[in-house]
Structure formats: C-alpha cells, structure tokens
Amino acid sequence: MLFPAIEPYATHTVDTGDGHLLHVEEAGNPDGIPVLFLHGGPGGGLMPIARQFFDPARYRIVLFDQRGAGRSTPRGSLHHNTTWHLVADIETIRARLGIPAWLLFGGSWGSGLALAYAQTHPQAATGLILRGICLVRAVEREWVYQRGLDRLQPEEWQRFIAPIPPAERDDILAAYHRRLVGPDEDIARQCADAWMRWEAIISTLTPDPALISTLTADETVLPASQILAHYAVNGGFFTPETQLLDGVDRIRHLPGVIIQGRYDQCCPPITAYDLATRWPEADFQMVPAAGHSSLEPAITARLIAATNDFADRLGKQP
C-alpha cells in the first residue's frame, strides 16, 4: 500500500547556530505540494520508508532528523534540545527552502511536535495528518513507565524494570533518566538496551523482531534512549502539561486528520480522544484491530488515504 521507494533529490545540512547541524532531505516532486514529515521518538531519526507515505508525483516531501537524532549532529546531544528548539528548527528549514506553508505529517512524538509547531505558526500550516497521538502528559507517562502497561505486558515489564533497584521503582522514569545520562557508560548502555526493547515491544500490536533489532542497534540505542528520556522526564517541555490541548483553538480552522489505533499500547487512545474532543472539526479515525506502528496495514491504509485526500484538496487551491 505504500508508494514505491525513492531516494532524495536533495540533501541539506542546516546549522541551527547553537551547536546543532540538522540533516534535511527533499524527495518527490520539487514543484509538488510541500509536506513535512516529523519522526517519532523523540530521538528516533528518519527511516527511508518514511518517504513512501506520499505520492512522489504530487508532493514535495521534506524530512529531517531532529536535534541529536539520526544523521543530525552531535548525535545524542541534549544541549539546547527542547520542543521549542525543534519548533524553531522547523521554521528555519521552511525559510531556507522557500516554502510559504506546508502540510504537517507526524506520528507518535511527531504528532505532538506537529501540534506545537502549528499552534506557534498557524499561518505556515496547510493542514495536519496525525497518528498515534502523544502529548507527553503525566497520565501518558505513567501508563508507559509506571503503572498500566505492566498489566498488559507483565513478562516484558519485568525485563524493563530489571535494571532499576526495587528501592527506586516508585519513579522508574526518573531512575532510568539518571542512569542514561549518568557518568557510568556500562550502566547507561545496559539501561538503554532495556529501555529501547520496551519501546519496541509496545510499538506494535504483536512483537516485531525486526523493529526490536532496529531500535536496539548498537550505534543508535544509547543516544535515542537518552533523548527520549530527556523529553519524557521534562514532560515534553509543555507548560502547563495541557498546553497542546489548550492551544487547539489556534488551529481549528485548519483541516486535520487524527488516526489512532484502538489497541495502541505506546500512546493510549484516550489522548487522541481528548484531542478530537477539543478539535471536533478534525476527522477522527479510531482504527480497530490496530496498535501504534504506522506500518500496521490498517494504519498504513488510513495514512495513505489521508495523504491522497490532502493532495486532491491542496492541489486544487490556487
């Protein structure tokens, strides 16, 4: 159901001016409808398959590795690395590429980042396609890292908490964060392996060995887990934690699609429901028999339908 694999027609290195160099790529049609792909994580980085959610004949597809992720450098850096730095980065990229406004496509953490950007720069957005909604609220963090998923994944939960001494398990997220960014590299790596395995397990409806292998790859496991923990322990840098829900009125005039797997373990469906309640004009699609991953067939089909629909809609505008 995905579009054929393609290579970028241009790549760029964007200097943020505060120590980060961002990897940016463009694919598809240089004269097409601009769309920005926002990857998950945070810290997840790009995968080539991300280009395949868009008709390459109709879209100018822009993708970038967020600060510290993928091919952006320095890898794993937490310095000047917050949501609001990323929002500023997106504006910098848009200006550099000379794009007046673009469609935002984000899943998981990318959905929260898309909302943060659109609410800050609504004039630069033509619409939003969001999947597996993540707002980094306390209730979401507690579900994943403290209590909730332990009841659905009891054996994997025991593997996840094993690196944390029982005396510190009253706040597992904080305990992991201390170790992941701490001075002991052996402990940090041990925790990174356990952390990213847990992320892989809960990202699909059934365990995907290929995803587990990808997320626990030697060269990415530590920086990816450090960035993810950095954002999680800081609540996504949203103040108050309902900031993205409270700001929905700024974007209700924009067309939006919210696609959520009914059995998403990573980003519980209540979050998407809460967003849709605040944004009744959006097309809210709860997908049965689906989890979190964009590559689950039912989720992929909805995403492709959404990008095709937006291509029809935006292509007719003068």
In the residue annotation, 246 being an active-site residue is answered as no
Burial grade of 254 (CB within 10 A; 0-12, 13-18, 19 or more): middle
Q: Which of 39, 292, 293, 294 is catalytic?
A: 292
Which residue, chain included where needed, has tokens 């760029």?
A: 12
Q: Which of 65, 89, 208, 264 is catalytic?
A: 264
Q: Is 77 a catalytic residue?
A: no
Report the distance separating Cα 298 and Cα 129, nearest Å: 15
Residue with tokens 């926002």: 38
Spatial separation of the C-alpha atoms in residues 72 and 157, rounded to whole Å: 32
* Distances 7 to 158, 237, 303, 307 between C-alpha atoms, Å: 41, 34, 20, 19
Beta bridge partners of 173: none
Active-site hit among 108, 111, 225, 293: 108
φ/ψ of residue 81, rounded to 5:
-125, 90
The long-range contacts involving 178-185, CB below 8 angstroms and separated by at least 24 positions, are 180/222, 180/225, 180/226, 180/229, 181/78, 181/226, 181/229, 181/230
230 membership: H or E segment, kind and range:
helix 221-233
Residue type, 172: I
* Residue 264 known to be catalytic: yes
Query: How crowded is the C-beta side of 245, counted as CA atoms within 13 Å?
Result: 17
Cβ pair 42, 227 in contact under 8 A: yes
φ, ψ for residue 160, nearest 5 deg: -65, -45
**Which DSSP state fits 254?**
S
Which residues are tagged catalytic? Answer: 108, 264, 292
